[in-house]
């Protein structure tokens, strides 16, 4: 059943034959001066320190924990060397320290032992997500193809899926039983989305309407939100930290009729309608700085400022064909809202909205802040086989054009910490790119048919992909290798999601079965 790994190429074989250098660290390495700097705030910690030149990543971590007084409850960190270029500010780059300082910095002669080094540290996720390895259940229930699925933001016990039988269903993933059937739509349910506060579910359908449901019971909240002239293609919720005190988060919906509508979810009326695209809007995302980014089949990306009543503040044109998908570097943290991996079923009620808000702001700033200021990057995937990385609030020019795919790119996503971008394409491959600069990092090959979607684990280490070849595959980002192959579906897999606490993966597709995967 497992995917056969292709035989090594001629180049690889030749490389394997060559004598490999044994990584040896010279014994007479002098001490070097380093300084720690936080990646998010840019503050330096502990002044300059003299350390041995062959210090390992683990030792650096221990040292930093000691300096910060957290050695009894150590936080894992990753380190990177800040290689400043005095002449040209833009050429400043970060060099990751892989195993030890000697092999990653001194040996490639990036710096000498006499130089003063600034090490930038980023906290890694403090918990480790185990790769899913088995299908813990296949739940039948939907009468037709499953088109979308999403876990609730608070924990992995609830999941909602939408299908071609015009219903959405809420599932209890602990007992593998249905909780509620959300029926009301009259055509395929194309997208489902949990609100970041975890109390509401929005579903968008082929029948041109959006419906809201109570996440807990599955009861409809009012009637359908009508207004769109064609089917709904994408839904996005207002980030929790932007929600006005005392009100519920707003919802934005994009439609094939080339408009975007913002809905007030408590009074259920359309607040804003943004029309400016000339073709179907394929994807929208509500960013943490209160801007909606929309990608469209008219080859443009538009940024709409919601605080200025939906004014279009930027139109990004570079793509040569449809925009299929776009992702923000803060997508994951916005979706999480104020919840984290420790929150449980009752934390929706236990935590007050204010508390959730403050936690959401804190979490958001942790991811969005880069050396003291908020940066949100957008990556767009297109039918022209390329992707662009943008920072729309800074300039209308892309940071980087990412080429390499040989067929259209269907899905892109940033890793939860925003350090990696992963793109899945119809050329059967998944590619990993640097999340800051857009440099190419590696390709994950293994699927034998178009890859439809990918989902990240919360600790940035693993990735799960769904494909037309009926399998899911779990990949390790560090080694860029396949970890687990998950066959089981009988037909193509359209939707996949990894729960925010990392315990479960849900998938659904043409075989009408929801599958829950766990370790």
Encoding tokens for residue 230?
Answer: 């064609």
| Closest CB to other proteins among residues 143, 396 | 143
Asked if 231 is part of the footprint of other proteins (rule: CB under 8 A), the reply reads: yes
Shortest distance (Å) from residue 204 CB to other proteins: 9
Asked if 30 is part of the footprint of other proteins (rule: CB under 8 A), the reply reads: no
| Closest CB to other proteins among residues 188, 388 | 188
| Closest CB to other proteins among residues 191, 291 | 191
| Closest CB to other proteins among residues 411, 431 | 411
Closest CA relative to residue 486, chosen from 146, 133, 4, 148: 133
Q: Per-residue x/- mask for other proteins, residues 238 to 257, rule CB under 8 A?
A: ------------------x-
Shortest distance (Å) from residue 484 CB to other proteins: 13
Q: Which of 64, 106, 148, 179 binds other proteins (CB under 8 A)?
A: 148
Shortest distance (Å) from residue 481 CB to other proteins: 17
Shortest distance (Å) from residue 514 CB to other proteins: 15
CB 431 within 8 A of CB 443: yes
Site for other proteins in 398-417 (CB under 8 A): 410-411
Cβ atoms within 10 Å, residue 387: 30
Asked if 336 is part of the footprint of other proteins (rule: CB under 8 A), the reply reads: no
Query: CA-CA distance, 321 to 301, in Å (whole number)?
Result: 12
User: Positive or negative, the Cα torsion across 309, 313, 317, 319?
Assistant: negative
Nearby residues of 177 by Cβ (< 8 Å), 6 or more positions away: 139, 171
Cα–Cα separations (whole angstroms), residue 146 to 57, 149, 163, 507:
44, 8, 4, 9
CB 364 within 8 A of CB 241: yes
HSE-CB of 301 using CA atoms within 13 angstroms? 32
Asked if 259 is part of the footprint of other proteins (rule: CB under 8 A), the reply reads: no
Asked if 185 is part of the footprint of other proteins (rule: CB under 8 A), the reply reads: yes
Shortest distance (Å) from residue 422 CB to other proteins: 16
Q: Per-residue x/- mask for other proteins, residues 301 to 330, rule CB under 8 A?
A: ---------------------x-xx-----
Shortest distance (Å) from residue 398 CB to other proteins: 22
Q: What is the DSSP letter of 395?
A: -
Among the candidate windows 60-68, 122-130, 468-476, 497-505, which touches other proteins by CB under 8 A? 468-476
Shortest distance (Å) from residue 471 CB to other proteins: 4
The DSSP code sequence of 279-290 is S-EEEEEE-TTS
Chain center to CA of 234: 16
Shortest distance (Å) from residue 458 CB to other proteins: 24
Counting residues that bind other proteins (by CB under 8 A) gives: 48
Q: Which of 34, 147, 306, 379 binds other proteins (CB under 8 A)?
A: 147
Asked if 475 is part of the footprint of other proteins (rule: CB under 8 A), the reply reads: no
Asked if 145 is part of the footprint of other proteins (rule: CB under 8 A), the reply reads: yes
Nearby residues of 516 by Cβ (< 8 Å), 6 or more positions away: 135, 136, 137, 139, 159, 171, 173, 176, 504, 505, 506
What string of H, E and C letters represents the secondary structure of 122-187? EECCCCCCCCCCEEEEEECCCCCCEEEEEECCCCCCEEEEEECCCEEEEEECCCCEEEEEEECCCC
Shortest distance (Å) from residue 410 CB to other proteins: 6
Nearby residues of 367 by Cβ (< 8 Å), 6 or more positions away: 329, 330, 332, 333, 416, 417, 418
Asked if 469 is part of the footprint of other proteins (rule: CB under 8 A), the reply reads: yes
Classified as helix, coil or strand, 63 is: helix
Query: CA-CA distance, 6 to 29, in Å (whole number)?
Result: 42
Q: Which of 233, 259, 294, 429 binds other proteins (CB under 8 A)?
A: 233
Dihedral, 272, 277, 283, 287 alpha carbons, nearest 10: -50
Asked if 514 is part of the footprint of other proteins (rule: CB under 8 A), the reply reads: no
Q: Per-residue x/- mask for other proteins, residues 262 to 281, rule CB under 8 A?
A: ------------------x-
Shortest distance (Å) from residue 431 CB to other proteins: 18
Query: CA-CA distance, 326 to 319, in Å (whole number)?
Result: 12
Radius of gyration of the chain (CA): 23
Residues that bind other proteins (CB under 8 A): 1, 3-4, 143-145, 147-148, 163-166, 183, 185-188, 190-191, 207, 231, 233-234, 256, 280, 282, 297, 322, 324-325, 410-411, 447-449, 452, 467-471, 485, 487, 490-491, 494-495, 510
């Amino acid at each position: 059943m497992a995917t056969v790994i292709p035989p090594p190429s001629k180049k690889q074989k030749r490389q394997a034959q060559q004598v490999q250098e044994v990584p040896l660290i010279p014994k007479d390495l002098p001490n070097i001066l380093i300084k720690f700097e936080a990646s998010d705030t840019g503050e330096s910690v502990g002044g300059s320190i003299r350390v041995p030149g062959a210090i390992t990543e683990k030792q650096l971590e221990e040292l930093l924990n000691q300096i910060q007084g957290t050695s009894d409850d150590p936080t894992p960190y990753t380190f990177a060397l800040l290689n400043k270029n005095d002449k040209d500010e833009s050429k400043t780059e970060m060099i990751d320290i892989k195993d030890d300082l000697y092999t990653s910095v001194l040996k490639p002669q990036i710096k000498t032992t006499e130089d003063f080094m600034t090490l930038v540290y980023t906290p890694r996720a403090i918990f480790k997500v185990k790769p899913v390895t088995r299908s813990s259940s296949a739940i039948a229930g939907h009468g037709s193809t499953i088109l979308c699925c999403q876990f609730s933001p608070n924990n992995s016990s609830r999941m909602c899926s939408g299908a071609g039988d015009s219903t959405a269903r809420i599932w209890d993933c602990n007992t593998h039983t249905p909780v509620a059937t959300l029926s009301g739509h009259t055509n395929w349910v194309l997208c489902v989305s949990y609100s970041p506060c975890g109390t509401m579910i929005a579903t968008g359908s082929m029948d041109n309407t959006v419906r809201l449901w109570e996440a807990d019971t599955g009861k409809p909240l009012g009637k359908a939100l009508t207004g769109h002239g064609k089917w709904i293609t994408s839904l996005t919720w207002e980030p929790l930290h932007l929600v006005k005190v005392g009100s519920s988060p707003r919802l934005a919906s994009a439609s094939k009729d080339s408009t975007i509508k913002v809905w007030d979810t408590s009074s259920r009326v359309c607040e804003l309608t943004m029309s400016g695209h000339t073709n179907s809007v394929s994807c929208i995302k509500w960013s943490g700085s209160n801007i909606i980014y929309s990608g469209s089949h008219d080859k443009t990306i538009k940024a709409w400022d919601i605080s200025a009543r939906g004014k279009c503040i930027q139109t990004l044109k570079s793509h040569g064909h449809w925009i299929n998908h776009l992702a923000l570097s803060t997508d994951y943290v916005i979706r999480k809202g104020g919840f984290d991996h420790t929150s449980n079923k009752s934390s929706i009620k236990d935590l007050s909205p204010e508390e959730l808000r403050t936690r959401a702001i804190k979490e958001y700033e942790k991811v969005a802040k880069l050396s003291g200021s908020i940066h949100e990057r957008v990556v767009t995937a297109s039918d022209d086989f390329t992707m662009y990385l943008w920072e729309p609030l800074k300039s209308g020019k892309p940071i980087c054009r990412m080429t390499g795919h040989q067929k259209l790119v269907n899905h892109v996503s940033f890793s939860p910490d925003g350090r990696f971008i992963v793109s899945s394409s119809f050329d059967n491959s998944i590619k990993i790119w640097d999340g800051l600069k857009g440099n190419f990092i590696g390709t994950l090959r293994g699927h034998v048919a178009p890859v439809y979607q990918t989902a990240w684990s919360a600790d940035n280490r693993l990735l799960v992909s769904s494909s037309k070849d009926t399998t899911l595959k779990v990949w390790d980002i560090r080694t860029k290798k396949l970890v687990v192959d998950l066959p089981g579906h009988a037909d193509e897999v359209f939707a996949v999601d990894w729960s925010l606490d990392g315990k479960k993966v849900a998938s659904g597709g043409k075989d009408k079965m929801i599958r829950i995967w766990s370790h």
